Chains A and B, each alone.
Chain A
Amino acid sequence: MNILAPLARSDEVAPLCDAGAHEFYFGLNPPGWEEAFGQASVHRRSVRSAGVPGLDDLRRIVRRAGGRPVFATLNAPSYPAGAVPRLVEFGRTLVEDEGVAALIVAELELLLALADAGLAPRVHVSSLATCRNPGAAAFYRDLGVARVILPRHMTLAEIDETAIPGLEWEVFALNDGCAFEEGTCSTTHAFRPYCIDDRVGRAPGRLDERYAFWKWTLDNCGSQTSRGYTLGPCGLCALPRLARAGVASLKVVGREAPLERKVASVRLASIALGLAARGATREDIRDAVVGERGAPELCEGAHLCYYPDAWTAEPVQGAQPAAAPVRDARASGAPRAGCAPPAGPPADRVDARPVAVVRRTATQGGSC
């Protein structure tokens, strides 16, 4: 299992490698995009806050990643007329000339055009494509893509059934939930996240309070801890189950986030992955995560769980290795040039310092 980390600049590569990242993803507009297509989004994030500054910095990213795969997001749900040929040309440049390992794609028209260009084996299907069952998975497998990123709103039992052979599987592991399924939200964050102002009905009531609480947890509780950890959606306790389902990659969300948050998130995922690789139970992982991050009460109620059925669908196994052993990708392969082997905290070390929760200053919200 790999930890997939978000990137916005080349100087983030080394600290994220040190924290335990095995793969990276980023967004970058093609040269001349704004002149041709204005503010149309290429990768669902602000170019300024979440985009790699340019091709020169991308080359540094790839070099510094030292052979760790780097993926490009071309994951807008739709593009304006004339954009798809430009994106195919750009995608080909990225994978054939710039060392990008794969393209993360949501729009079917773009996916089909990339397939026509012979690039399907370098495509990862975005979570926005809402692949939620084995039949949908077979559809994408038949198109020849390499990987499918499952949407957030799935249970572990559904992942078990959907993750068919012949594809790599990626799931959400940390941060930034969505109240609506992002693939079936037809609004844009350019106006501010639509869900923030969503109420159940016209008159506020008790149900609105519960809905607001859920949305607050999805928005990382509007907080982070004094150690820099995000109090957002988390799937780390489910790692043993996800490994058995054949999941290959764990997405840490937040290209636009400060580097400190990215590093802390990857470090937390690395701790959990290390434990899972040694056969830890969900309880062991939860305790380690809470010990490092803090805020145990949010875990006690499973309020932050991406996959709450991690706690309901399987009996406690004791400290047994998973049936399909979790493999921490750090354990394999030689160190690569330019990016030292991860030197983050030992995977089972729990920091016992007191943890405070601090309010975040800006609403982040959103996904990948």
Chain B
Amino acid sequence: MLPDGPAVALYFGSEFCEDRLPDLDEASAFCAVARDRGWEPTLLTPLVSPEGLRAVDQLAGALGAAGFRPAVVFNDWGVLGLLRERHAALPRRAGRLVNRSLRDPRAYRDAPGGTATHDVSRHARMRGMLRRLGVAALETDADLEGGYLGEGRGSDGTGLSRALHLPYTYAASGRGCPLKAALYGDEGGFAKAFADRCPAPCRGKPLPVHRPDSALPHWRGGNTIFYELPHEAARSWLVHADRVVVHGSASP
């Protein structure tokens, strides 16, 4: 299903959990691999707490000091502000959670191809704002409404590049991670542990999840539920993307 095209970027980090942000060694290793292959290193960042904002700041600064200039995918307006004010040399890309359109997997029961109209009048103001704030690209997974990615970069160089994440679409995410809760006794975890640092027991271990209301394969990647997008729906989105971000597993 995927169109032909070269590998151009290496994504690492997390869009869904600040405890899955890499440390400097790991991030540097990804950047080095990308550099060796001529790819763009691309650091994914999630919605963040104040502590998470400081972590992103430190990581971006340290990577810069080490000579790397990764693109940064932001999902938090605080992270965008940080990039503009303190790490202006790093290319900025708006992440999946900037797009808050509906993605409910149960909607595919009656419409396997999805219901996206791909009307690019949606989110036109937001795209204009992002361009003014120096954002280079939009990223999303497939939603049920479409239009978010707009028309892409024009021949005059204006506009935003577009990236589509496949094959997993996120359904829901939050801070009440059950896998993190497993690290606590019966009285702990969940809301009582929102701000605790987590050693990420989810790392490398996506769990298949059974749902009674959807035939689509579902996965738990730590604090986030993903589902595998029907191919028919994915095809309708591919024509609106300039880049496809292919995930090897459902990871937060």
Contacts and interface: CB of A to CB of B under 8 A. Distances in A.
Interface string A275-313: 000000000000000000000000001100110110000
Contacts of A207: 178, 181-182
Name the residue in B103, B178, B191 with the highest tally of chain A Cβ atoms < 10 Å from its Cβ.
B191
A186 B100 contact: yes
Given A135-B76, A161-B50, A181-B175, A198 B225 contact: yes
Interface in B88-146: 97-98, 100-107, 117, 119, 121-126, 129, 143, 145
A194 B175 contact: no
B78 A135 contact: yes
B78 A139 contact: yes
Given A186-B143, A191-B213, A158 B49 contact: yes
Interface string A143-184: 000000000011101100110000000000000011111011
Size category of the binding interface on chain B: 35 or more
A321 B16 CA distance: 40
Interface in B63-88: 76-82
A47 interface: no
A134 B49 CA distance: 9
B244 interface: no
B122 A186 contact: no
B195 A157 contact: yes
Contact of B100 (A77, A137, A153, A194): A77
B208 A202 contact: yes
Interface stretch (B2-10, B152-160, B166-174, B234-242): B166-174
Nearest to A137: B78
Contact of B78 (A78, A138, A187): A138
B52 interface: yes
Contacts, number: 189
A55 interface: no
Contacts of A197: 211-213
Given A133-B49, A202-B208, A211-B181, A184 B81 contact: no
A185 B170 CA distance: 9
B61 interface: no
Given A132-B47, A140-B77, A153 B210 contact: no
Contacts of A306: 191
Contacts of A153: 174-176, 191, 194
Given A79-B122, A201-B207, A306-B191, 18 more contacts: A78-B101, A109-B125, A113-B125, A133-B48, A133-B78, A183-B47, A186-B104, A187-B171, A188-B104, A191-B106, A191-B107, A192-B213, A197-B213, A198-B225, A201-B208, A201-B220, A214-B191, A305-B192
24 contacts: A108-B100, A130-B97, A132-B50, A133-B48, A133-B49, A135-B82, A136-B78, A153-B175, A154-B49, A158-B195, A162-B50, A178-B174, A184-B174, A186-B103, A187-B172, A188-B102, A191-B213, A197-B211, A198-B209, A200-B207, A202-B207, A210-B189, A210-B190, A214-B176
